[in-house]
Structure 1
Amino acid sequence: MTAVSVLVSALPVLHTALALGLAAWTLLFLFRIVLTWYPQVDLNRGAMRLIGWPTEGLLRFSRRLIPAIGGVDVTPVIWVGLISLLRELVVGQQGLLTQVLRQSQSIV
């Protein structure tokens, strides 16, 4: 088996994994946005860690670059937009990986 055929056979799995991963990350950021309405929720306790841990690194970084507007942290909204854009560019209907996958299926 050549390296190209291995890569071609791995494309559907990679495409699906990226699509699901980016969708899950977007969903986690949407949860973060909703949870800002409930300041009493501690994202470091219990099941809330599943929302806080994967998102906090990016939010901590972006909060240093983008200050709160009127006391409102807008960084989760920005990340939802950026991740959605990345998802569309890579695995959307006209995404790069989607086009490569279609080309590889038409060759085989």
Structure 2
Amino acid sequence: MSVVAAVLIQAISRFLQIYSVLLIIRILLTWFPTVDWSNPIFSTLAQLTDPYLNLFRSIIPPIGGLDLSAILAILALNLLSGLVDAATSQITALAYASYGAF
């Protein structure tokens, strides 16, 4: 059970890392007004990241054109990623203690 849990949590950790990169790319692209958001690549990026960003935009609306909610969104994602990494470490330590090795 511990090995399955460790693999699952590592997969979640990888997903969060990839999503963090997509989120940062999305935020950086908003600084360039010439980005064509109807382009399929940019449109897909927006569809993947906007629902998460909108959660935080409802808490902190843009102030003078500056979207501070993105900072809160990244902090929350990093916190979740840290918790997942800590869980991975704990499960791995338990697996080694129980089975000696994978």
TM-score scaled by length of structure 2: 0.82
Per the alignment, residue 3 of structure 1 pairs with: none
Identity, in percent, stands at 27
Per-residue CA deviation, residues 33-88 of structure 1 (Å, 9 max, x unaligned), is 21011122133421113321111112223212211122211222221111111111
TM-score scaled by length of structure 1: 0.78
Note the C-alpha offset of 1:30: 0.6
The count of corresponding residues between Structure 1 and Structure 2 is 99
- The answer to whether the 8 Å contact 1:90/1:96 transfers is yes
* Pair 1:87-2:78 in alignment: no
Question: Runs of 5+ in structure 2 lacking a partner?
Answer: none
Per the alignment, residue 6 of structure 2 pairs with: 12
Note the C-alpha offset of 1:12: 3.1
Q: Quick one: higher RCO (CA 8 Å, sep 6+), 1 or 2?
A: 2
**Aligned match for 2:87, one of 88, 96, 101:** 96
Q: Which aligned segments of 4 or more residues in structure 1 are displaced greater than 2 angstroms?
A: 42-45
Distance 1:74 1:44 in 2: 24
Note the C-alpha offset of 1:106: 1.7
